[in-house]
Amino acid sequence: MPEALQSVRKVIDPFYTVHGRHSSLVLDCRGTAPAILYWGVRLRPSTSPDMLALLATEQEAPACPTEEAPISLSPELGAGFQGNPGIQVHRQGLQWAVSAHIESVTQANDGHLTIVSVCEGTQLRITHRLGLDCDTDVLSASTELCNIGDSRLSVEQCNTPSIPVPINYNKILGFQGRWAKEFQLQSVDRFSGTYLRENRSGRTSHDSFPGVIIHTEQTSEASGAAYGLHLGWSGNHRIRVEEQFRGRAYAQLGELFFPGELNLDPKQSYCSPVLYGASTNNGLSALSKCFHSYIRSHLSDGRMAEKTKSVHFNTWEAMYFDLTLERLQALADSAAKVGAERFVLDDGWFKNRKSDRAGLGDWTVDKSVFPDGLGPLIDYVHGKDMEFGLWIEPEMVNPDSDLFRAHADWILSTPPAPLILSRNQLVLDLTRTEVQDYLFNCIDALLIQYPIAYLKWDMNRVINQPGNAEGRAVSHYQTLALYGLLARVRAAHPMVEIESCSSGGGRADFGILGYTDRIWPSDSNDALDRLAIQKGFSMFFPAEFMGAHVGPRDCHITGRSISMTTRAGVAMFGDMGIEANLLEMDDKEKQVLTSAVSLHKQHRQLIHNGDLVRLDTSEHENSFGIIAANQREALFSYALLDSPATTSMGHLRLRGLEANTLYKVTIIWPSAPRSGPSSIVDVIDGSMLSGDALMNFGLQLPIMQPTSLLIFHLTS
């Protein structure tokens, strides 16, 4: 027996309890494998784990083993588990049945648990780590494998710790979508069998965000029990919610590996991405509050803590590839006049980049457009009191580029299959040191030469053929290499902000937030589509990380024409920006836009720090509020998406206010609201109303036209 398997088993307590502010987690270590006995509302001191274990006593089911394999943190094939195992490994087809025994459990002063188990049959050491943040109630959990045998170990699956799901959590709220329509909520009744979403795109993906919410039939935004689970990983993943025939159910999230992708040599380890979870009995908005608070306190980078989020102007939908210094300067003039604080030069600035067919990989300034480099434009932008930002797409290369002609072997591919082009580009193999060095040196040179405050880091295609020069699948290592490159850029230029764009929403997860400062949720700036996209995004991410831009009157993706009032009112509730041709706007549109930017600046500290509550509305409505922590100020947005079935509108019942406090209610957007005959918009401004009345009776909504909205400001 290998020496590592001869360790002395330490004394293990039967139960370990971790408390958050509002929740508790109880780990059951009575058997050979650790399992979650309880995760929910914070337990009172009078409740012991032994009581919970007694209450959880199950009867032997007909035609089933006397002792059924538990839903342990990593359910085991060797224990006879008939669902999906947490870990699947083998050594050339042998030593595949994991059946581990707990070796030690360590509980740190902050409550975090480390459970070490050893499987003699597979010669594997398994380390589970679980922590429940005491302030935000967010669970963090991971699984680490170490090969303690003397031969190579093939790893086919290593999920994060499995979460048992109560039988009454019978609804699954997942995410579906596509490019330009990301973060679409999909509600499914839990069923006997497997709910499974898989992503093989090599990034977080547009169609399968790595998060899921499991809740009861009665759960709404305002009340009810729910689990929220998210995998903090920017690559391939798998989400599984499985109900077994007995009614037992569990959730598993983990990285998805291609064949032969992960092998561990002796003493080598692999650690899963982190699973982030939250449990609440107070509805979906409370669940989101847990995640938002955790991001703000744990994942956001402290180097930007004191910096206010700047209002963007982005050149893409104003100019596309048709760049000239004169037009860019004219746009900078207009952007400054409407209140922009950052000017971002998008695609088209580098060598031979006249379309999306050439230039990617050659990260030097195109002298035919900028004969004197970017300096004159940056100086002009700075002269207008705006920061300068730049678009890059480092992971990609066009076949028509100097880089590809010199290093065609630097790409990911799966020969003899023909190369798959997407947006006329291929994917560079970031796992190669020379590729990493080349890209870092290009970016570093730009940031040294020019005072660039912001990088829009894009990635405009799926990784369809993730094979390296040896023919091995490397999606896992490609993601780690991306993290390494981003970390290297940030270390060299710590005050440069970085946006995770990825064709809009394609790389949005807690993992990428360790290296970036903003996420672009979608390439669609259609305000109506954005309301749904931003609602789905808000389930896990707070407003200050959500790029939200005012697009052109006629959206170039949907063709829909929407008023400036609505476009600006929707964009106001994120990290606000403008992505439209200001040179084509009439004076009235510019006036409305200027007012919206000014209003956003006036309230952005609340928007970027307050607590979000989404209101339960019909399908033709969208409404939410952002409330100060002390409940003395709030903003509420109400949008009518389509014509209602009745002429008269209902009451808008607000939430999250202090019932006994009197609030001054003002309609702040549109700047001059109209509703035909006299209505609430004519009488409510300046009224003093109790939180009790606003929440339990609500505002009588005026008759509104579809695609219009109102924003209410409340101050105590």
Of residues 151 and 703, more confidence is placed in 151
CB 250 within 8 A of CB 195: no
What's the pLDDT tens digit per position in 346-395?
999 999 999 999 999 999 999 999 999 999 999 999 999 999 999 999 99
Our CA dihedral for 537, 538, 542, 548, rounded to 10 degrees, sits at: 60
Q: Which positions ≥6 away from 583 have C-beta within 8 Å?
A: 318, 327, 330, 331, 334
pTM over 0.95: yes
CB 214 within 8 A of CB 241: yes
Calpha distance 32→99 (Å, rounded):
8
- The residues that bridge with 35 in the sheet, in sequence order, are 28
Boundaries of every domain in the chain: 3-299, 302-612, 615-715
Provide the mean pLDDT of the chain: 96
Confidence of residue 8 (pLDDT cuts 50, 70, 90): very low
pLDDT at 4: 42
Residue 366 phi, psi dihedral angles, 5° rounding? -75, 110
Q: How many helices (H) and strands (E) does the chain have?
A: 14, 38
Of residues 671 and 15, more confidence is placed in 15
Calpha distance 162→252 (Å, rounded):
5
What's the pLDDT tens digit per position in 451-480?
999 999 999 999 999 999 999 999 999 999
The amino acid that residue 623 corresponds to is S
Calpha distance 389→310 (Å, rounded):
11
pLDDT at 1: 39
> How far, in Å, are 235, 335, 347, 383, 610 from residue 343 at the CA level?
30, 8, 13, 12, 27
Confidence of residue 605 (pLDDT cuts 50, 70, 90): very high
When pLDDT is averaged across residues 575-592 and rounded to a whole number, the result is 97
Query: Which of 238, 173, 182 shows the shortest CA–CA distance to 206?
Result: 182
The amino acid that residue 624 corresponds to is F
Structure tokens at 693: 């009345």
Topology annotation, domain 302-612: TIM Barrel (3.20.20)
What's the pLDDT tens digit per position in 89-130?
999 999 999 999 999 999 999 989 999 999 999 999 999 999
What's the pLDDT tens digit per position in 676-708?
677 888 889 999 999 999 999 999 999 999 999
Burial of 586 (0-12, 13-18, 19+ CB in 10 A): exposed
Using the Cα atoms of residue 75, residue 80, residue 81 and residue 83 in order, give the sign of their dihedral: positive
Structure tokens at 383: 């002269």
Using the Cα atoms of residue 171, residue 173, residue 177 and residue 180 in order, give the sign of their dihedral: positive
In this structure, CATH architecture of domain 615-715: Sandwich (2.60)
Confidence of residue 301 (pLDDT cuts 50, 70, 90): confident
pLDDT at 674: 67
Burial of 312 (0-12, 13-18, 19+ CB in 10 A): buried
Per-residue pLDDT for 11 more than 90?
Answer: no
pLDDT at 340: 98
pLDDT at 558: 95
What is the CB neighbour count within 10 angstroms for residue 480? 15
CB 449 within 8 A of CB 437: no
Calpha distance 478→471 (Å, rounded):
14
The domain 3-299 having CATH identifier 3.60.10.10: the answer here is no
Q: Which positions ≥6 away from 569 have C-beta within 8 Å?
A: 527, 596, 637, 639, 669, 670, 709, 711
Cis-peptide into 266, omega within 30 deg:
no
> Which positions are catalytic?
458, 523
> How far, in Å, are 61, 74, 171, 230, 242 from residue 36 at the CA level?
21, 11, 21, 18, 16
When pLDDT is averaged across residues 529-551 and rounded to a whole number, the result is 98
Confidence of residue 442 (pLDDT cuts 50, 70, 90): very high
